A and B are shown apart, each in its own frame.
Chain A
Amino acid sequence: QSVLTQPPSVSGAPGQRVTISCTGSSSNLGAGYDVHWYQQVPGTAPKLIMFLNDERPSGVPDRFSGSKSGTSASLAISGLQGEDEADYYCQSYDTSLSAWVFGGGTKLTVL
């Protein structure tokens, strides 16, 4: 059971917009800790695609956007492309556990 909760899967057709939610608690997101997002294509290492809730690293398309409010966060991907098909993980810090924590991951399928 992951500390951060994500839906196991989401899907969308090319060109559509999808959102992936990440639900935490008062000891992580609700305590003001930032959320970060990683994209993992099967067989490869995770790649940071969003940090500090809504900041995109250089090279990440602006089709990706993030937000956070209270104990929840979300990653939105607009204009879906086949290359977006991957697993996505949210991550933050939990002050009760004194640990870096990840979500359970969400598999994005581009139909």
Chain B
Amino acid sequence: QITLKESGPTLVTPTQTLTLTCTFSGFSLSTDGAGVGWIRQPPGKALEWLALIYWDDDKRYSPSLRSRLTITKDTSKNQVVLTMTNMGPLDTATYYCAHLYSSSSRFDYWGQGTLVTVSS
């Protein structure tokens, strides 16, 4: 059974760097084809893909946010970490991590999400 859970601050101040951790179980990020992605959703708005990391450490980023994002993995801890620099009010959103099904384009398991508010 695959599970994922996001953790990190619920409140960040403008210009700060956000660090979110996705802790997962039920699969290994060292297995061929495995991937974990981050998706966010501002209140009342649509889902937006942010970043994804594959089992082989291949990393992909949203073109519009590439300069602000870094995704890493710690296979031994079953964790994926997303950092986003220079946070602003428009970055207020629920941030989800999700399991990518075997090198496909679909996310088959999602974490519960964590709401991050950017405010001074």
Contact = CB atoms under 8 A, between A and B. Distances in A.
A99 B105 contact: no
Interface stretch (A15-23, A66-74, A86-94): A86-94
Interface size class on chain A is 20 to 34
B110 interface: yes
Contacts of A102: 39, 46-49
Interface in B72-96: 96
Given A45-B112, A99-B63, A33 B105 contact: yes
Interface of A: 2, 33-34, 36, 38, 44-48, 51-52, 57, 89, 91-93, 97-105
18 contacts: A2-B46, A34-B104, A34-B105, A36-B105, A36-B107, A38-B107, A45-B111, A45-B112, A45-B113, A51-B101, A51-B106, A93-B105, A97-B63, A99-B60, A99-B63, A102-B46, A102-B49, A105-B46
